[in-house]
Amino acid sequence: MYLLGYDIGSSTIKAALLDAKTHKVLGLTHYPDQEMDMISRQRGWAEQQPEVWWQHFCAATQRLLATTQVDPKKIEGIGISYQMHGLVLIDREMQVLRPSIIWCDSRAVSIGQQAFDELGEDYCLRQMLNSPGNFTASKLKWVKDNEPDVYDKIYKMLLPGDFIAMKLTGEATTTIPGLTEGIFWDFKAKKVADRLLEHYGLRKDLIADTVPTFSIQGKLTKAAAARTGLAEGTPISYRAGDQPNNALSLNVLRPGEIAATSGTSGVVYGIVDQPVFDKKSRVNSFAHVNYEQNHDRIGVLLCLNGAGIEYSWLKHQVARSDHSYADMERMASTVPVGSDGLCVLPFGNGAERMLEDRNVNAHFFNLDFNRHTRAHLYRASLEGVAFSFVMGVNILQELGLNVDVIRVGNDNMFQSKVFAMTIATMLNSRIEVVDTTGAVGAARAAGVATGIYANLDEALQDVKPGIIHEPNLNHAHCQQAYSYWMSRVRLAVEEGTAATRSLPPAADAHRQNKELAAVRLQLDAANEFLAEIKATLLRQDANAASKVVQRIEARLDGGHREWEGFEAHFDLLHDDFIKKLKKHYPNLSMQELKLCAYLKMKLSTKEIAQHLRLSVRGVETGRYRLRKKMGLGDGVNLVEHLERI
């Protein structure tokens, strides 16, 4: 009797097979061997083809069955963990309508912020616990605004895990935790957030029917069985996003427990027993896997962009080529707490949510060439990331989370004793390192709804820590180092804030450029409106309209001069961009020059369409013709090409 679990990531599909009685992991595999590609048609976009996920899912399943040689008919349940916040759109034939807009795509940021402002902070935070932000609902609104032909064909909106479940069962369903991660759920009313849907103008029937997180959510179809090698009728009995599922895998289910990871980025995910929100939007709250409408279990998630990537950078740029992470750990352990005054801020991987979306970059403070060695750099870097985790947990504590225990996996920075003990000492909490994976956790969870396990406690009964880090460092020394580190963070934030208030000339020019563009685009629209009036009048009696026409012509001539003035100012701000454009491509029309300028300014397709008085499709056609005139091949990004001019 076996259980099967999957982790549907944006890099690879992982699969795990578990002996349901002994809890022994019989096999682990992943597919493909190289990371899956992402489609990025514009800066800030990230898409993947859901059908590619399905192909790799089938391949991973076949590989796992071939390796373990188990009888597929003895697999009693399937659990699915998946990358959160993605958008998959299907039609009535269950066919995908466009590539999935995945978690790291940022095109809907402005849409979510506008909705937050218009719906109001009180409603968004008290009802949905979050700003609509760049989450799934805002991505669906983007499709409605920019791809109306696609929107009109939508039968259901799905999350990535919902799509895989649909391919297995032929049924389009979702879960309440899934709706909360998309910001479609009203926690106060305990139902779909109708007001948000109405504000975005989204049809409610696009939301798939909900099934419980732990339930028989459907059974494997004959077609899916043929593709995967599994047995027809095998039940899909669990589905959850990757961060809630990671917490489940670590047996983090109760208030006061925290799951943490520190890979490229870091995540702190804590459990509370009542809805909580952060007015500064430094964290996000979602329904945990054991959330029920009469039983609040909320997962509060804080993400740290600058975590493992900082230590990885140090290894590749500073460490000797023959030094492993184990070598770096041994060297770091020879340096005292506080790294002899050397201090590192690890925030070099973009804007940080817990710093209220400020991008302060990484910093090294007090580096002394006569005193500090590589070992000091290693320890200071580990302490810098550890202190950022402590800062994050302190934010959770501000929101009412009591930290009793922190559980982590054994495949990231928590392998470092220096790192883990620094956090344990600062928080006066144990850190328990558990040897498990998300796919294994999904397999365990799949056994609950099928009746193999009576409850989650039984399913997770042997999830025990292999290593425990106690708060054994000198707390006073750690506190002193942390206090200094926090003072450097505050200084970096203040300097960044001051810089945005008093920008240098070049940066100020870039800021003013968009303001200039808005004014110019309004003038352009007005001029085109005048042109329409002129054409209408010319169809009337010429004598009666002559004076009006003359005045309009004078205005239109002035509009042409306004464009020339805008062009000159734009060239000043953008290093003679339009002059160079005319030189390289002398056959471009005035409309195409404007299109290039607006693309250079990173305006959205919808904004460009409004200001050029075109449809969204008209702008896309204009981009296509522009590419042809410029002789750009299929693999060349138009916006990136314009950036190089």
pLDDT at 546: 60
pLDDT at 559: 47
pLDDT at 483: 95
pLDDT at 158: 98
Residue type, 37: D
Question: Residue 229: which region, alpha, beta or left (left: phi > 0; alpha: psi -120 to 50)?
Answer: left
pLDDT at 565: 56
pLDDT at 556: 47
Are 528 and 628 part of one and the same domain?
yes
Domain for residue 550, yes or no? yes
Q: Which of 227, 247, 267 is the last residue of a domain?
A: 247
The closest alpha carbon to 301, from 103, 481, 483, 151, belongs to 103
Q: What angle do CA 477, 480, 481 make, to 5 degrees?
A: 90
Q: Give the Cα separation of 121 and 108 in Å (integer).
A: 18
Q: Give the Cα separation of 424 and 405 in Å (integer).
A: 9
Q: Domain range for residue 275?
A: 257-435+472-494
Are 308 and 234 part of one and the same domain?
no
pLDDT at 551: 55
Task: Report pTM.
Answer: 0.74
| Cα dihedral 603, 606, 612, 617 in deg (nearest 10) | 120
Are 428 and 323 part of one and the same domain?
yes
Domain for residue 441, yes or no? no
What is the b/e burial string over 204-234, where b = at least 16 CB atoms within 10 angstroms of the residue's CB? eebbbeebebbbebbbbbeebbebbebeeeb
Q: Give the Cα separation of 452 and 458 in Å (integer).
A: 9
Are 544 and 489 part of one and the same domain?
no
Sign of the Cα torsion 166, 168, 171, 175 reads negative
The closest alpha carbon to 447, from 7, 78, 14, 68, belongs to 78
Are 11 and 42 part of one and the same domain?
yes
Is the bond preceding residue 212 a cis peptide, omega within 30 degrees?
A: no
Q: What is the CATH number of the domain that holds 424?
A: 3.30.420.40
Are 235 and 283 part of one and the same domain?
no
Q: How far is CA 82 from CA 208, 372, 410, in A?
A: 17, 44, 20
The closest alpha carbon to 141, from 115, 180, 117, belongs to 115
Domain for residue 176, yes or no? yes
Are 590 and 622 part of one and the same domain?
yes
Are 295 and 406 part of one and the same domain?
yes
User: What's the half-sphere exposure (Cβ side, CA atoms, 13 Å) at 600?
Assistant: 23
Are 243 and 264 part of one and the same domain?
no
pLDDT at 111: 95
Q: Give the Cα separation of 47 and 139 in Å (integer).
A: 12
Domain for residue 539, yes or no? yes
pLDDT at 516: 47
The closest alpha carbon to 37, from 91, 100, 107, 90, belongs to 100
Domain for residue 463, yes or no? no
Element (H, E) at 262: strand 257-262
**pLDDT averaged per 10 residues in sequence order, the chain, 645 residues:** 96 96 96 90 91 98 98 98 97 97 91 94 95 95 96 98 98 98 96 97 97 98 98 98 96 93 89 91 94 86 89 92 93 97 92 86 94 96 97 91 85 91 94 94 98 96 92 95 95 77 48 47 52 61 56 49 60 75 90 88 81 82 90 85 86
Are 175 and 209 part of one and the same domain?
yes
- Strands annotated E in 129-178: 156-158, 173-174
Domain for residue 107, yes or no? yes
How many structural domains are present in the chain?
Answer: 3
- State residue 307 phi and psi, 5-degree precision: -140, -105
Domain for residue 440, yes or no? no
Q: Give the Cα separation of 105 and 42 in Å (integer).
A: 10
| 286 SS3 class | strand
Q: Which of 215, 247, 279 is the last residue of a domain?
A: 247
Q: Which of 228, 247, 266 is the last residue of a domain?
A: 247
Q: Give the Cα separation of 295 and 190 in Å (integer).
A: 11
Are 352 and 396 part of one and the same domain?
yes
Q: Give the Cα separation of 306 and 359 in Å (integer).
A: 11
Element (H, E) at 56: helix 50-68
Q: Quick one: how far is CA 634 from the chain centroid? A: 27
Are 233 and 283 part of one and the same domain?
no
Burial class (CB within 10 angstroms; exposed 0-12, middle 13-18, buried 19+) of 200: buried
Q: Give the Cα separation of 357 and 112 in Å (integer).
A: 15
Domain for residue 443, yes or no? no
